[in-house]
Structure 1
Amino acid sequence: MSAEELPKVAVDIWSDVMCPWCAIGYTQFAKALKELEGEIDIEVRFMPFELNPDMPPEGRSQAEHLAAVYDRSPAEVAEMREQLLEVAAHAGFPMEYDGEGEPPEPWMWNTFDAHKLLRWALTVEGMEAQTALKLALFRAHFQQRRRIGKRSVLLDVAENLGFDRKAMEAALEDEALGIAVRLEERRARESNINSVPSFIINDRYLVPGAQEPEVYRETLRKVVELSQAG
């Protein structure tokens, strides 16, 4: 069967760069995509969702943030982090620091500009380019512990992928782009998407959270089966 003849499925992934489960979930989802090559033509778009829209520009210590959000002690937060690292490593997206020197303290950042850049990449360069940028931002945050709430760091990460820096600088200053991101975020709330990752298939079917690859794979197959049945 040629690529043109394959059944087509559209998947919108509501996700935040700060969300470890989003990185884990997409890693698992990507395994399903690999298994379905030549069987289903799957188009993927990343949609904006800010877990912490009120995060200040200077960010906040991850440990302090988690302790406040979940009402946990420092020891409990450390245990949560160790468990998360184990899950991430098992999924194939290790989150240990892989840079040089002493690892910086894990930090939380405001991600609105990251979402603007991801929306720009989708509009201007397409879905594959947007996915490449999303994965690079995941790596920059979780593995390199870079300050991705800072525009210059965002631009550096994207420029390293071949994106035009001047065009990106203009995009981040574009008020209309910011409004578009806010409207998409509002659409998520109105659609009762209140946690991420959320995988919306063909604007109709929801797969919530970070699942095992076979869950995504069989759900996509079932969606195709239902669509072909009319």
Structure 2
Amino acid sequence: MKDVTIDVYMDTVCPWCRMGDASLRAALKELPEGTNAVIRYHAYQLNPGIRKEGEDYRKVMIGRLGGEAQFQARMKQYNQTGSQFGLNYNMDLVKYTPNSVLSHQLIAITPKHLQSQLLERLYTAYFEEGANLGDVDELVKIAQASGVTNDPEATKQRLLQGEGLDKVDEGQRDAQKLGIRGVPYYIVNDKDALTGLQSPADLISAFKRQ
């Protein structure tokens, strides 16, 4: 098998993207020894129009899904599907649908070799602990806990000054050019596109086609 580069379009507040990330991690463990795998993360905001301070998660989702019954069914679905990837979703703790731009900025300014562990921690903080990923102070705490910064105040200022916004905008533009309408979305070695949640086996098959 050749070396593999995987471009991943995702949102930090997308439950399916979290499952997709876990699936990708599992698939990478099955790569032949010596295979070099490079993951490049690209920002895709599911809710770009959400107010900067965020909006009530329950109201947003009920409005989107069409009612309380549909909302409850979807919450169960997250746990049922997530359990297949060893993930828990404590959705009763999730109070906000945040504007995720700050969290994408944080990923963008994080050294590439640390981005994966940061993203995993962002997902856990939001979906298991109910952290508000639109709050800069929450994000700085997550960055510190993830080991991606030892200077939280400097990281906060970088985010507030808009560092990384160019990469966030680039991700959105590239997604539009590619016709991406949902995430997770993967591109393997710049040619093989996979849309939606993929099993580890599906991802491994895509790697082997290269």
Question: TM-score of the superposition, structure 1-length normalised?
Answer: 0.84
> For each residue in 1:130-153, what CA deviation from the matched residue of structure 2 results, as whole angstroms up to 9, or x when unmatched?
011111100000001011110000
2:192 to 205, 218, 222: 205
Are the aligned partners of 1:115 and 1:181 in contact in 2 as well (CA < 8 Å)?
yes
Q: Which residue of 1 aligns with 2:85?
A: 91
SS of 2:158's equivalent in the other structure is helix
Over the residues paired in the alignment, what is the CA RMSD in angstroms?
Answer: 1.7
Asked whether the 8 Å contact 1:61–1:105 carries over to 2, the reply is no
Q: What per-residue deviation string (whole Å, max 9, x for no partner) do you get for residues 80-106 of structure 1? A: 211221101122111136xxxxx5354
Q: Which residue of 2 aligns with 1:228?
A: none
Give the 3-state SS of the residue equivalent to 1:44 in structure 2: strand
Is 2:165 the partner of 1:171?
no
Specify the SS of the correspondent of 2:12.
coil
Correspondent of 2:13 among 9, 12, 18: 18
Q: Out of 28-37 and 174-183, give the one that drifted further.
A: 174-183
Unaligned runs of 5+ in 2: none
**Is this contact kept in 1: 2:94–2:127, CA < 8 A?**
no
Q: 1:115 aligns with which of 104, 110, 122?
A: 104
Tell me if 1:157 matches 2:142: yes
Distance (Å, rounded) in 2 between the aligned partners of 1:96 and 1:104: 6
Is 1:77 the counterpart of 2:71? The answer is yes
Q: Report Cα offsets for 1:145-204 as digits up to 9, x if no partner.
A: 011110000000001122132442232134463133212211111111221000111222
Structure 1: 4+ residue segments shifted above 2 A: 60-63, 103-107, 173-177
CA distance in 1, matches of 2:43, 2:57: 21
Partner of 2:36: 41
The answer to whether residue 57 in structure 2 is matched with residue 68 in structure 1 is no
- Deviation track 1:19-56 (CA, whole Å, cap 9, x = no partner) reads 00000111111111011151531111211000001111
Larger CA deviation: 160-169 vs 24-33: 160-169
- Match for residue 175 of structure 2? 188
Structure with higher Rg: it is 1
Q: What secondary structure is seen at the aligned counterpart in 1 of 2:7?
A: strand
Shift of 1:129: 0.2
Aligned-partner Cα distance in 2 for 1:105–1:11: 30
Aligned to 1:3: none
SS of the equivalent of 1:86 reads: helix
How far apart are residue 211 of structure 1 and its match?
A: 1.2
Alignment correspondent of 2:204: 217
Aligned equivalents of 1:105 and 1:16: distance in 2? Answer: 16
Percentage identity across paired residues of the two chains: 24
Opposite residue 212 of structure 1, the aligned amino acid is S
SS at match of 1:110: coil
Q: Deviations over 1:104-135 (max 9, x none)?
A: 354311100100110111xxx22x30011111
Instruction: State the TM-score, normalized to the length of structure 2.
Output: 0.92
